[in-house]
Copies of this chain bind each other. A is one copy, B any other.
Amino acid sequence: MRLQHPASKDKKIVLIVGGGFAGLAAAKALANKKEVEVVLVDRRNHHLFQPLLYQVATAGLNPSDIAVPIRAQFSDALNVGVHLGKVHEVNLDGRFARIEDVEVDFDYLILACGAQHSYFGNPQWEEHAPGLKSVEQATEIRRRILSAFEDAENEFDPMKQAALMNFVVVGGGPTGVELAGAIADIARTVLVKDFKRINAASAQVMLVEAGPRILAAFDEKLSKHATEDLRELGVQVRLNSKVEKIDGEGVVINGEFTPARSVFWAAGVQASKIELTPKIETDRAGRVIVEKDFSVPRYQNVFVIGDMAHFDLGDNKLLPGLAPAAMQAGRFAASAILDSIAGKKRKAFTYVDKGQMATIGKRKAISQYGRLRMTGIVAWVAWLFVHVFYLIGFKNRLAVMAEWTWSYVFSKRGSRLITSRDWKLDS
C-alpha cells in the first residue's frame, strides 16, 4: 500500500527515520517550515536521553524521567507527522521507503537510526551480558543487579554467593565507567543498609577494558584520574584485558576465569542496519560513509546523521558519537534541505566541539572542553547541570533534580524495582 500523503503538491516530503538526538533535532528544525511536510518514523514511541540510561539501570531514575513521547514534541507542529513503525527498506532511486507494509514516498530522506551493541561475532554472549541502549535493557540490567543481591542473600553455598556478588562491566568507555561506578556506589551506600545476611558493600565490581586505558576519547591525564576515582570507589579496573568468553557462570579474561553471574556489555557498537537499494559503502562498524554535507554519495537528497554516519573531520578524526554532535548534524541536514528547496548553495558543516564528560560514582566526574579540564566534585556539578539542562521537558528536569537531591541526601534510590519480563498470572 502507498501512503496517501496529505501534503499539498508544492510541499516537499522529508522522511526522517529515527527519533534520537540527531533525528529529533532535524525534525524540530523543520517543524512549521511551510516548504516541507515531515514524516518522522521510529520503532519506539519515545525519545530517550541515553546519557542517563545507566541511572535507570542502577535504580537512580525512572524510565519516564529520561524518556519523552516523540509525538508530544510535535503537538504544535502541523507539518510533522509521527509514525510508530520499523523501516524495512529504502529505495534511493525510487525515492520511497517501506514502513511495515506501507510504502512512503519522499523527496528528502534523513536516516538517523543510531547504533546498537556489537558482540564482535559472539551473539551468544548477549543473553549473559546485556548492553545498555534501550529502556528495556536498562530495566533488565536493573533486574539483574537487584536480583543478584537478593539471590546472594538466600544463597548458602559460599562459592555461588561470591559469583552472585561479582559484577563485570565490559568496555571502558563512558557508559562502562558510569555503569561500573554506579553499581559500586549503590552497593556501598544504598543496598548495604537493606541486607542482613550478606554485606552488600563487599560486592566486587570489575571494569574490563581491552585497550591500555579507559575513556580513551579523553585526555590521558583525565583518564588516569578517572581510573583512580574508580579504584577509590572499589572498582577493579583491568586494562589491556580481552574478554574471551562469557557464559552464565562468568567470564574468561586473558585466559583466566572469573565467576560472575552479572556481566554487562558496554564495549563495541555498530551502526543500526537498514536495507538500502542500491547498497551504500559503510565502514567496518557499519556506518555509512557520508559526504561533507552528510549526504550519501550520488544522492544529494539523502542524509545519514548521528551514530549511523561515518563523517570524516580530517586529521584522522571522525565526528564523535556524542549527543551534541548528533544534534548539530540534525540541524545541519535540516538547513541543507531548506537551502536546496530554496535553490541556495548548501553551507559547509562545521563541528563545534562542546567537549565531553563522564561521571564516576556519586560525587566525581571528569570533563574536558577545549583546553579546560575539570575533575572531582567541580566536574560532577558541571556534569549535573549540563545533563539536567539538556533533558527534554521542564517536568523531567524537575523530576530528575528531585530524584538526585533525594538520593544524594538520603543515600536512597527511588526505583529499586525488580520487574519480570512476563506479565501473565503466576509469572
List residues of chain A with CB under 8 Å of any chain B CB: 1, 4, 44-46, 62-64, 67, 69, 71-72, 75, 78, 81, 83-85, 100, 102, 116-117, 126, 130-131, 134-137, 139-140, 146-147, 150-151, 153-154, 156, 193-197, 395, 398-399, 402, 406, 412, 414-427
Beyond contacts A63-B417, A136-B419: 16 other A-B pairs, Cβ-Cβ < 8 A, are A46-B416, A62-B62, A63-B415, A64-B414, A69-B417, A72-B194, A83-B153, A83-B154, A84-B153, A102-B154, A116-B425, A117-B425, A135-B417, A135-B419, A136-B423, A140-B423
- Look across to chain B and name the residue whose beta carbon is closest to the beta carbon of A156: B1
- Look across to chain B and name the residue whose beta carbon is closest to the beta carbon of A395: B406
- Top 6 A-B pairs ranked by shortest CB distance? A64-B415, A136-B423, A140-B423, A84-B150, A71-B194, A45-B418
Nearest Cβ on chain B to A54's Cβ, whole angstroms: 15
A116 / chain B contacts, CB cutoff of 8 Å? 425-426
A195 / chain B contacts, CB cutoff of 8 Å? 71
Are B150's CB and A418's CB within 8 A? no
A69 vs B414: C-alpha distance when bound (angstroms)? 9
Nearest Cβ on chain B to A111's Cβ, whole angstroms: 17
Are A78's CB and B414's CB within 8 A? no
A72 / chain B contacts, CB cutoff of 8 Å? 193-194, 412, 416
> How many copies of this chain sit in the oligomeric assembly?
2
Nearest Cβ on chain B to A311's Cβ, whole angstroms: 24
Between A and B, 6 residue pairs with Cβ closer than 8 Å are: A62-B63, A69-B417, A81-B196, A116-B426, A136-B420, A137-B423
Are A136's CB and B194's CB within 8 A? no
A417 / chain B contacts, CB cutoff of 8 Å? 45-46, 63-64, 67, 69, 135
A75 / chain B contacts, CB cutoff of 8 Å? 193-194
Q: Indicate the member of A62, A131, A416, A425 with the most B CB atoms within 10 Å.
A: A425
A412 / chain B contacts, CB cutoff of 8 Å? 72, 395
A78 / chain B contacts, CB cutoff of 8 Å? 196
Are B154's CB and A81's CB within 8 A? no
A84 vs B195: C-alpha distance when bound (angstroms)? 12
A45 / chain B contacts, CB cutoff of 8 Å? 146-147, 150, 416-418
Nearest Cβ on chain B to A119's Cβ, whole angstroms: 9
